[in-house]
Structure 1
Amino acid sequence: MTSITETPFASLEAEGRLINAVFKGATEKPGRFGYRGGIALKFQQSYADEKRPPELACEQVIAVADAGAETIPFLTANFLSFEHLQSFADVLKGKLSPTGKYFAFCNNIDLLAKYHVEIDGIPFYVLPLDESTVYNEVLELLRLDKTDLKKLTIGGKTDAVADAALAFDDSFDAISFAQGLERMGPVKNRYEHRPV
């Protein structure tokens, strides 16, 4: 059974960055560890023993890593703003690979846009996310049938998504991170008009 301590997730766990986990454990594939939840990118200052939510985080993360590997080969997540991708790349520096498959669903890019962006040699597929979830969007992108996955465990679903993602090779418009910053829209607050 693969343990988190054998994977690149270990230091993120030690730093308290793996938050709101819905799955954190061995998948159905031998030697593979899966994670679904959030990743804290910037912490608030805390006083004494109080635990504050992170100032900045990416949510709806789906990721896998193999025991003994130094890098995470697949990860997808939701970012409120495209610009947070830089903070993400900084926090995961050394844990991402130039040959990995990383999908960033951003709330403030054009709904018809699909970009390929490199940050420090690490490639990201950047896509819009409005009302849907990362899981639903990534299933559609990877042409996976939701009904086929229903019978699987959460670890099995994570494997299916990761395996399809690792084989993904569509090409998107290549832009620089600076061009992405110029094109992004304002950050949408999803809770702005909801009753308290």
Structure 2
Amino acid sequence: MTTIDDTALARLEAEGRLFNAVLKAEMPQPGRFGFRGDIALRFQQQMADEKRPPDYSIEQVVTFARAGEAIIPALAGYLHSFAYLEDVVKVMGDLLSPTGVYLMFCNNIDLRAQYRVVMNGIPFSVLPCDESTVWKELTELLGIEKSELKKLDTAGKTDVVLDALLDFGDAFDEITFQRGVEVMEPVRNRNENRPV
């Protein structure tokens, strides 16, 4: 049986960074431990024993790690601002690899933009995400039909999507992080045009 303590997710768990989990469990594929939820990037200052939500996080994360391996091979998630990519590298850089596949959907980049940003040797594919979810965007991007996932449980569905993500290769224009910050747009209010 694979537990989170056997994987690269163990440090994030010990630091209390994994929360809002839809999935935090052993996967159908042996040796894999999957996580779907949020990864805290910056915590609010806490007074005494009160528990406050993080300032900001990588939201709607879809990822896994293998038992006995020190890196997370693939991860997709949502950042409310492109600028938070710097914090992803600070918090998780030692767990990511130059050969890994890391997709970040961002609120505040041009809706036609698709970037490749390499930071500390770690490649990130950066795409826009406005009113959709990471799961929906990911399955569309990877060409996964709903019928392929229909009869599977959450862990099974996540395994299928992560297998497809491992094979993802982008041909996006490479830009520097600094350039991305220069051209990023104001953060949009995701609830602006939603009915009450």
Cross-structure match for 1:135: 135
CA shift, 1:168, in A, is 1.1
User: Percent identical across equivalent pairs?
Assistant: 57
Query: What is the CA distance between 1:113 and its match in structure 2?
Result: 0.7
Matched, 1:171 2:186: no
Unaligned ranges ≥5, structure 1: none
Tell me, yes or no, if the aligned pair for 2:65 and 2:71 is still in contact at 8 Å.
yes
| Equivalence for 1:12 | 12
Write the distance in 2 (CA, Å) between the matches of 1:167 and 1:155.
19
1:126 aligns with 2:133: no
Please list the CA deviations of residues 6-61 of structure 1 after superposition, one character each: whole Å capped at 9, or x if unmatched. Answer: 00111101100001111001111000000000000001111111000001111100
Structure-2 separation of matches of 1:115 and 1:180: 8
Task: Give the unaligned 5+ runs of structure 2.
Answer: none
Matching residue's letter, 1:13: E
Task: Give the CA deviation at 1:189.
Answer: 2.4
Q: What is the aligned-residue RMSD (CA, Å)?
A: 1.3
Give, in whole Å, the separation in 2 of the partners of 1:139 and 1:20.
21
- Give the match for residue 149 of structure 1: 149
Query: Which residue in 1 is equivalent to 2:34?
Result: 34
Matched, 1:71 2:71: yes
Q: Is the 8 A contact 2:125 2:170 kept in 1?
A: no
Structure 1 residues 10 and 173: CA distance shift in structure 2, 3 A = same
Q: TM-score, normalised by structure 2?
A: 0.96
The equivalent of 2:109 in structure 1 is: 109
Instruction: Give 1 or 2: higher strand fraction.
Output: 1
CA contact (8 A) 2:108 2:128 kept: yes
Contact 2:131/2:190 (<8 A) preserved: no
